[in-house]
Chain A
Amino acid sequence: MAATGSSPPRWRGRPLAGPEGASLVARLARAGLPELQRSLRYHRPRAPFCGIGQCTNCLVGVNGRPNVRGCRYVPLAGDRITSANSWPSPSWDLLGVLDLLFPRGLDTLHGFTWPRFAAPLYHRVIRRLAGYDRLPEGGAATGPAGPPAPAVADPVETDVLVIGAGDAGTAAAAACAGRGLETLLVDRGPPAEAPGPARLARTTVVFLPPPEGEPSRFSALVHEEAGPARLVRARRVVVATGGYDGPLLFGNGDRPGVVTAEGALALGLADADPWFRRAVVFGGGPRVLPLLDRFGTHVEAVVAPGAVSPAVVERASALDVPIYPRTLLLEALGRRRVRGLRLAPRGGGPTFDLEADALLLAHRRLPQPQLFYQAGARMRWHATLGAYVPDLEAGGATSVPGLYAAGTAAGLLEPAASAASGEAVADAISGSGVARPAPPALPESTGELEGYYVELLRRPRGRAKRLLCPCEDVLLTEVEEAVANGYRGVEVVKRRTGVGTGLCQGRYCLPDLLLVLAHLEGRPPAEVGYITQRPPVLPTPLGALARLPTATGSEEEGA
C-alpha cells in the first residue's frame, strides 16, 4: 500500500473522494450510481450490476492496465483510473446514438456487404466501435497496479485443495486439516482473520483439468490477483465455489439501476445512504431478506416471479412494503436509467407501472458450475434452481474420482446445509467413520422459472431492447432468428449470435439462454445442455500466465 499523503487516486482526471480501502465503485457510488462505461455494440449506458467482479459493467483502465473491474479494485495513492469505450464520457457518449439508430439491432451477420468497394471503410468503422480499452502503452503496465517483476512461481503440492472459503469450503478445509490431511484453501477474497488451514487469499482457480497420472492427481491453475499464475497439485479437490445472484431477461434489462442482490449489497458503503431512493426487489425467497434488512425504508415494493415465502411476507409487512406475487417484469422504464418498471400479473391481465429508481434482482441463486465442467464431472439439471449441478454420490463425490462438491456449488442453498456438506466431504475424503448420506437436497419443483419464461416470451413485446447477453449486446431477437432458421442447440446458437462469449464467461446470459432455448426448441432444459466451459474461469493476464514453469511435467489438460 502506498503511503497516505501522496497524491490521491484520480478518476478521469479528478481526485477520487471517499474512504481509502473501499473499491472504486463503492467510492463513486457515494455520489450516486456511477456510469463507468458504455456497452460494446450499441454504446448503451452501463452502471455496476453484479458487484462481485464477474460482469462487464464496471471495466476501467488503471495506470494503463485495461479492463480492470472497478467493483473489486481498491484504488491506491497515485493511481490514474480511466474510462473506456465512450466519448467524451461514460455518461454522455456521442456514440450512444447507435442505440437509437438501430432500434432493432445492428446486423453484422448479413449487413455491410454492399457495395463491395466499401468493405475497407466498414472494417475500419466497425473495428473502432469494437473492443473496450486500448493496448497499454510502453510495455508491461507499470505503477502500483502493474504486475511485479517476472519470476517463475513454483507449483504448490498438497493433499486436499479446497476451492472457496464460504461456509462449505471453510468447514471442509477445517475438517480435512483436523483429520491430519495436508489441506490448502484457496479463495478470491482477502486473507482470513481467524487462524485456520493454509490458505491462498485473493487467488482464483481459473482452470481445473481432469486428474491425470497413476495415482491420479489434479493440477489446478490458480491466479493470484496482481501476481503470477501457478499450479497447485492435489490428490483431492473440493469445489465449494458458492453461487451468485442470477440475471433476468426483460426489456431494457441492462439499464443503470438494475443490480443483483449481491451487487446492491456490495455497491453501497454500510455507513452511507444507498444510491437509490425507491428500489423494487424482485424475488420471493430468502435472498430478499438481507435486502429488506439493509435497505428497509428505501424499498418500494417486492415483486416476485412466483409465490412469496412466509418469511418475506412477514418482513415486508412489518416494513409496510407492498408485495406483488406471481408477476412478470416486462420492461425497465427510463431513457438513461431506471425510472420505473412495467409489470403484468402472470396468467394474464393488464400491465401496470411502478415508480422506482433501482431494481434489485434476488429471484435466483445460481451455483458456479465452471470447474465441474472443466474437470469433466457429470452434471444434471436442477429444476428448482434452474441450473445444472454436479451429479453427486454420498459424501459429495462427483463422477470424477477425487473431485468433491460442497455448498451452493453442489446445489445447496441453506447455510446450515452448506457447512454440513463441507464436513461430509471431509468425512468421505478421510475415510473416517461412515460416509454420511448426502445432505437433503432442495425439494425440486417442476421449475417455476421455466413457466415464467414461457409466459414472458409469449407476451407481446414493447420496443425496448431485450439483451440476452449484455456483455456482447446480443438481443433476444437474434437468438429467436437463429432458432427459426434451423440452428439448434446451445453451442450452435453461441457461435451464431455470440451469446456467452463475453467477459462474464456466460454467467449472466447462459441461465436465461437455457430457459429461452428450452421454450424455443420445445424441449426440457435438461436436454438443452450447456456451453463447453473453456478455461480460464475469469480473464487471466497473459503476463501472469507467462510465469508458469516452462515444463509443467504433464499434459494438464481439460475442457
Chain B
Amino acid sequence: MTGRSQYRVVIVGAGIVGLYTAWHLAEAGVTDVLVVDRGFLSGGASGRNGGGVRQQWETPATVRLARESVGAYRRFGVDFGYNVWFRQGGYLFLAETPAELDRLRAVVRIVNAEGLPARVLTPSEVLRHAPALDVTGIAGGTFLGSDGTLYPFPAVWGLFEALRARGVEVTTGTPVTGFRIEAGRVRGVVTASGTVAAEAVVNAAGGWSRDVSRLAGLETPNVASRHEILATEPLKPFLDPMVVRTSDGLYFSQTMRGEIVGGLSLPHPTGTGSGMPSSIRFLGTMARALTGLLPALASVGVLRAWSGFYDETPDGLPILGEDPRLGGFYHANGLGGHGFMLAPATSRRVAEAVLGQRTDLDPALFGPGRFLEPGRARQAERLTLG
C-alpha cells in the first residue's frame, strides 16, 4: 500500500542499492520518492551477503567507486546512527599458480596507480596476515589493509530510518507487476496494490532486475546467479582479513560475532525461478575447500547455510544510468555479488543521472547502452569472485 498516487521517482527494490539511491536523492532535496519492494527489508542479497568491501579490482573506475564506498561505510555510524561494524582487516587474495599470481600483480599495479597501497605477498607473508592457513600450494597473494568487512543489516536499518525521517516512503511486501509507458517514456509503476504515476523509475531490484526490466519491455544481459554461503559456530577472533582464493572463488572471513562466513562458486541454473535453496553439494564442496585451506576448522560446526542472487553482467561491470530505449527508466543493477560494497558510490551517480546532472561515469563502461553495440571491444572486470 502506498501513501500517494504519484511520485517524482519510484525506486524498485529496497536493498542497499535502492535505499542508497533514495538517500542520495533526498540529500539533493528530492524526497518525493517511493521505494517499493516485493519482499521484506534485507530479505534479498542485502541481507544475504558476506559483508565484504574491497578496493582491489581490475578496472580503475571500479577501484575509485569502491574507495568512495569505503569512505561512506567508515562514516556510516556518524551519518546514520547505526553501527555497521566496518572493520578494516584487509582483503587477502590467494593465487595457486604463477599465472594467477601474475594476474593479481596486474591488479596491484592498477590499485597502486589509484593511490592505494595494495601489495603482492609471498606465501610466508600470506601466513603473517592469516597464520591459521595452510599455504601449501599457494603461489602468493595480494593484500590491501583498508579493505574490510561489515555487518550488512544495520546499513539497511540505518538507511530505512533516515529515509523515513526525511519523508521518503519505503513500502515492502508489494511486488511490481508492470509499468505504464506512454510515448517512449515510463510514466508509472503498476504494483500489486495499485498504480502510481512517476516521472522516473529506478530499477534497483538486484537479482530480480532482469525480471523487472522485462516488465518494461527491455531486455538486459544480466542474469540472476544463485550463490550459496554458510556460517560456522562462533569462535574467538583468529582471522583478521577476508580471504579469497581466485581459482575456485572460495572466500571467507570471521565476523564480529566470531563466525566464519563464506562461500564459493558453484554452477547453478540461472534465473530467479528456482528460489534460494541451499544444497548438499555446496555443503560438501565448501567444507572440503575450507578445511583444505584452514585445516583447524575441521572440528568446527556449520551453524547454517543459505543462498542469494548475484546480479551478473557479461562484462562484470554494473549497469548504471538511463536506458536509451526508454526515457525515464534508470538502471541501478548488474552489480554482481558486489552491490553492498559499491552501492554508496554507484547509487550517488544514479541519483545524479535521475536529477539530470552530469556524472563522472564512463557510459562505455557502465551505461545500459553498451550492450546495444555488439562487437565493440570494452574493458571488463574479471575479478568478480569474493
Of the listed stretches A139-147, A171-179, A355-363, chain B binds A139-147
Give the residues in chain A near B157, CB-CB below 8 Å. Answer: 109, 487, 496
Instruction: Please judge, given known A-B contacts A40-B234, A542-B291, whether A111 and B302 are in contact too, CB under 8 Å.
Output: no
Is A193 part of the contact surface with B, judged by Cβ < 8 Å? no
Give the residues in chain A near B183, CB-CB below 8 Å. Answer: none
Give the residues in chain A near B43, CB-CB below 8 Å. Answer: 491-492
Task: Please give me the residue from chain A that is nearest to B275 by CB atom.
Answer: A557
Q: Which of A120, A136, A221 contacts B296, CB < 8 Å?
A: A136
Q: Which of A130, A137, A229, A556 contacts B258, CB < 8 Å?
A: A130
Is A216 part of the contact surface with B, judged by Cβ < 8 Å? no
Instruction: Please judge, given known A-B contacts A542-B287, A546-B298, whether A134 and B235 are in contact too, CB under 8 Å.
Output: yes
Give the residues in chain A near B283, CB-CB below 8 Å. Answer: 207, 221, 229, 535-536, 545, 548
Instruction: Please judge, given known A-B contacts A112-B83, A492-B40, A495-B42, whether A541 and B77 are in contact too, CB under 8 Å.
Output: no
Instruction: Give Cα A550–Cα B164 distance, bound, in whole angstroms.
Output: 49
B124 smallest CB distance to A (angstroms):
19
Instruction: Please judge, given known A-B contacts A113-B81, A132-B235, A546-B291, whether A541 and B301 are in contact too, CB under 8 Å.
Output: yes
B41 contacts A487, C-beta separation under 8 Å: yes
Give the residues in chain B near A135, CB-CB below 8 Å. Answer: 132, 235-236, 238, 296-297, 300
Is B233 part of the contact surface with A, judged by Cβ < 8 Å? yes
Is B194 part of the contact surface with A, judged by Cβ < 8 Å? no
Instruction: Give Cα A130–Cα B287 distance, bound, in whole angstroms.
Output: 23
Instruction: Give Cα A556–Cα B305 distance, bound, in whole angstroms.
Output: 14
Instruction: Give Cα A114–Cα B79 distance, bound, in whole angstroms.
Output: 11
Instruction: Give Cα A498–Cα B76 distance, bound, in whole angstroms.
Output: 21
Give the residues in chain A near B180, CB-CB below 8 Å. Answer: none
A128 contacts B81, C-beta separation under 8 Å: no
Is B217 part of the contact surface with A, judged by Cβ < 8 Å? no
Instruction: Give Cα A550–Cα B282 distance, bound, in whole angstroms.
Output: 10
Instruction: Please judge, given known A-B contacts A135-B236, A557-B278, whether A503 and B299 are in contact too, CB under 8 Å.
Output: no
Q: Which of A112, A116, A123, A505 contacts B74, CB < 8 Å?
A: A116
Is B154 part of the contact surface with A, judged by Cβ < 8 Å? yes
Give the residues in chain B near A540, CB-CB below 8 Å. Answer: 301-302
A110 contacts B83, C-beta separation under 8 Å: yes
Is A461 part of the contact surface with B, judged by Cβ < 8 Å? no
B300 contacts A66, C-beta separation under 8 Å: yes
Instruction: Give Cα A141–Cα B303 distance, bound, in whole angstroms.
Output: 19
B81 contacts A110, C-beta separation under 8 Å: yes
Is A6 part of the contact surface with B, judged by Cβ < 8 Å? no
Instruction: Give Cα A545–Cα B236 distance, bound, in whole angstroms.
Output: 22
Task: Please give me the residue from chain A that is nearest to B295 by CB atom.
Answer: A139
Give the residues in chain B near A557, CB-CB below 8 Å. Answer: 274, 277-280
Number of interface residues of B (CB under 8 A): 60
Task: Please give me the residue from chain A that is nearest to B234 by CB atom.
Answer: A131
Is B376 part of the contact surface with A, judged by Cβ < 8 Å? no
Instruction: Please judge, given known A-B contacts A505-B304, A534-B305, A539-B302, whether A545 and B161 are in contact too, CB under 8 Å.
Output: no
With a 10 A CB-CB cut-off, give which of B157, B280, B286, B301 has the most chain A CB atoms: B280
Q: Which of A139, A209, A495 contacts B298, CB < 8 Å?
A: A139
Give the residues in chain A near B132, CB-CB below 8 Å. Answer: 135
Per DSSP, chain B at the interface is: mixed
A542 contacts B300, C-beta separation under 8 Å: yes
Is B281 part of the contact surface with A, judged by Cβ < 8 Å? yes
A500 smallest CB distance to B (angstroms):
10
Give residues of chain B (258-298) contacting chain A, Cβ–Cβ below 8 Å. 258, 268, 274, 277-281, 283-288, 290-292, 295-298
Instruction: Please judge, given known A-B contacts A113-B83, A555-B281, whether A65 and B299 are in contact too, CB under 8 Å.
Output: yes
Is B191 part of the contact surface with A, judged by Cβ < 8 Å? no
Instruction: Please judge, given known A-B contacts A131-B258, A495-B47, A548-B280, whether A535 and B304 are in contact too, CB under 8 Å.
Output: yes
Instruction: Please judge, given known A-B contacts A123-B256, A139-B295, A542-B232, whether A534 and B279 are in contact too, CB under 8 Å.
Output: no
Is A485 part of the contact surface with B, judged by Cβ < 8 Å? yes
Give the residues in chain B near A501, CB-CB below 8 Å. Answer: 304
Instruction: Give Cα A66–Cα B164 distance, bound, in whole angstroms.
Output: 44
Is B371 part of the contact surface with A, judged by Cβ < 8 Å? no
Is B349 part of the contact surface with A, judged by Cβ < 8 Å? no
Instruction: Give Cα A82–Cα B297 distance, bound, in whole angstroms.
Output: 18
B193 smallest CB distance to A (angstroms):
16
Instruction: Give Cα A60–Cα B288 distance, bound, in whole angstroms.
Output: 25
With a 10 A CB-CB cut-off, give which of B47, B278, B286 has the most chain A CB atoms: B278
Give the residues in chain A near B306, CB-CB below 8 Å. Answer: 532, 534
B40 contacts A534, C-beta separation under 8 Å: no
Instruction: Give Cα A242–Cα B7 distance, bound, in whole angstroms.
Output: 53
Instruction: Give Cα A221–Cα B278 distance, bound, in whole angstroms.
Output: 12
Instruction: Give Cα A496–Cα B161 distance, bound, in whole angstroms.
Output: 13
Instruction: Give Cα A555–Cα B40 distance, bound, in whole angstroms.
Output: 27
B74 contacts A141, C-beta separation under 8 Å: no
Give the residues in chain A near B256, CB-CB below 8 Å. Answer: 123, 126-127, 130
Instruction: Give Cα A134–Cα B239 distance, bound, in whole angstroms.
Output: 11
With a 10 A CB-CB cut-off, give which of A108, A505, A543 has the most chain B CB atoms: A543
* Bitwise interface map of B from 141 to 158 toward A, beta carbon under 8 Å scored 1, else 0: 000000000000110010
Give the residues in chain A near B284, CB-CB below 8 Å. Answer: 229, 545-546, 548-550, 552
Give residues of chain A (97-126) contacting chain B, Cβ–Cβ below 8 Å. 108-114, 116, 119-120, 123, 126
Instruction: Please judge, given known A-B contacts A111-B83, A545-B302, whether A132 and B277 are in contact too, CB under 8 Å.
Output: no
Is A439 part of the contact surface with B, judged by Cβ < 8 Å? no
* Bitwise interface map of A from 207 to 243 toward B, beta carbon under 8 Å scored 1, else 0: 1010000000001010000000101000000000000
A551 smallest CB distance to B (angstroms):
8
Task: Please give me the residue from chain B that is nearest to A128 by CB atom.
Answer: B237
Is B377 part of the contact surface with A, judged by Cβ < 8 Å? no
Instruction: Give Cα A84–Cα B297 distance, bound, in whole angstroms.
Output: 17
Give the residues in chain A near B153, CB-CB below 8 Å. Answer: 495-496
B301 contacts A556, C-beta separation under 8 Å: no
Instruction: Give Cα A114–Cα B298 distance, bound, in whole angstroms.
Output: 38
B301 contacts A219, C-beta separation under 8 Å: no
Is A67 part of the contact surface with B, judged by Cβ < 8 Å? yes
Give the residues in chain A near B233, CB-CB below 8 Å. Answer: 66-67, 132, 503, 539
Is A296 part of the contact surface with B, judged by Cβ < 8 Å? no
Task: Please give me the residue from chain A that is nearest to B280 by CB atom.
Answer: A556
B235 contacts A133, C-beta separation under 8 Å: yes
B292 smallest CB distance to A (angstroms):
8
Give residues of chain B (314-343) contacting chain A, Cβ–Cβ below 8 Å. none
B40 contacts A541, C-beta separation under 8 Å: no
Instruction: Please judge, given known A-B contacts A113-B83, A542-B298, A543-B291, whether A536 and B304 are in contact too, CB under 8 Å.
Output: yes
Give the residues in chain B near A462, CB-CB below 8 Å. Answer: none
Instruction: Give Cα A254–Cα B315 distance, bound, in whole angstroms.
Output: 53
Give the residues in chain A near B164, CB-CB below 8 Å. Answer: 486
Is A524 part of the contact surface with B, judged by Cβ < 8 Å? no
Is B257 part of the contact surface with A, judged by Cβ < 8 Å? yes
B134 smallest CB distance to A (angstroms):
8
Instruction: Please judge, given known A-B contacts A109-B157, A209-B280, A539-B233, whether A140 and B295 are in contact too, CB under 8 Å.
Output: yes
Give the residues in chain B near A132, CB-CB below 8 Å. Answer: 233-236, 258
Give the residues in chain B near A130, CB-CB below 8 Å. Answer: 234, 236-237, 256-258
A556 contacts B296, C-beta separation under 8 Å: no
Q: Which of B85, B257, B304 contacts A123, CB < 8 Å?
A: B85
Interface residues of B (CB under 8 A from A): 40-43, 47, 74-75, 77-78, 81-83, 85-88, 132, 153-154, 157, 161, 164, 232-238, 256-258, 268, 274, 277-281, 283-288, 290-292, 295-306
10 contacts between A and B (CB under 8 A): A108-B85, A113-B78, A130-B236, A131-B258, A133-B235, A229-B283, A229-B284, A534-B304, A539-B233, A559-B278
What 8 pairs between A and B have smallest CB-CB spacing?
A: A131-B258, A113-B77, A539-B301, A543-B298, A548-B284, A545-B287, A556-B280, A557-B277
Given contacts A130-B234, A552-B284, 9 further A-B contacts (CB under 8 A): A112-B83, A123-B256, A126-B256, A136-B298, A207-B280, A503-B233, A536-B302, A538-B301, A548-B280
